[in-house]
Amino acid sequence: MDKVEQLLAREDIRDLLHSYCKGIDRKDWTLVRSCFADDHVHNHGDYSGPPDEFIGFASAILEKVPATHHSISNVHFTFSDDGKNASTEANFVAYHYIQEGTPEFDPVPTNGKATDWIVAGRYCDKFEKRDGKWIIVRREAFHDWERYEEATPKA
């Protein structure tokens, strides 16, 4: 893999990571699903399994969260010698706004109040180039820290 191919691969992979964030934030489950191979294995918090079941897991949580904002940064890349596989470790910060009166749910106690839930961590992904496109074949998501607190009303 020459330098130009590697630069193009980096951008394609970064676009895929950003598509995942956009899909999660817009609750566009078709877009989220398009980021993962059919044989993908996803490990995220309490969830471990295939992508379609991950979408069910994530959508059940996010149906109680009217607004989220996921950002990815500091993406570190490793490519196989043949250029067909890649690994990344990317930092993420996910902001979640939970409305006042939302029923309690794990893992965020709200006591019925509007709550900000912030999660920071890492997505450690394995990619393969299939049919000319990069796709995530394995994800390990680590929550390095998280916090929640009563949301401050707009002034």
pLDDT at 107: 80
- What is the band of 154 on the pLDDT scale with cuts at 50, 70, 90? low
Residues, the chain, total?
A: 155
Alpha carbon distance, N-terminus to C-terminus of the chain: 53
CA angle 95, 42, 13 (to 5 degrees): 75
Q: Tell whether the model's pLDDT for residue 155 goes beyond 80.
A: no
pLDDT at 70: 97
Q: Tell whether the model's pLDDT for residue 118 goes beyond 90.
A: yes
| CB neighbours of residue 98 within 10 Å | 20
What pTM does this model have?
A: 0.92
The span from the CA of 120 to the CA of 42, in Å, is 18
Range 125-147 average pLDDT: 97
Task: Check residue 30 and report its DSSP letter.
Answer: H
The span from the CA of 37 to the CA of 134, in Å, is 9
pLDDT at 45: 81
Residue type, 102: T
Q: β-pairing, 47-49 with 67-79?
A: unpaired
Q: Tell whether the model's pLDDT for residue 71 goes beyond 80.
A: yes
Task: Read off the pLDDT of residues 86-114 as tens digits, 9 standing for 90 and up.
Answer: 999 999 999 999 999 888 877 888 988 99
Domain ranges of the chain: 3-150
Cβ atoms 79, 134 nearer than 8 A: no
Pick the CATH number of 3-150 from 3.40.50.150, 3.20.20.70, 3.10.450.50, 2.40.110.10: 3.10.450.50
Q: Tell whether the model's pLDDT for residue 46 goes beyond 90.
A: no
Range 135-142 average pLDDT: 97
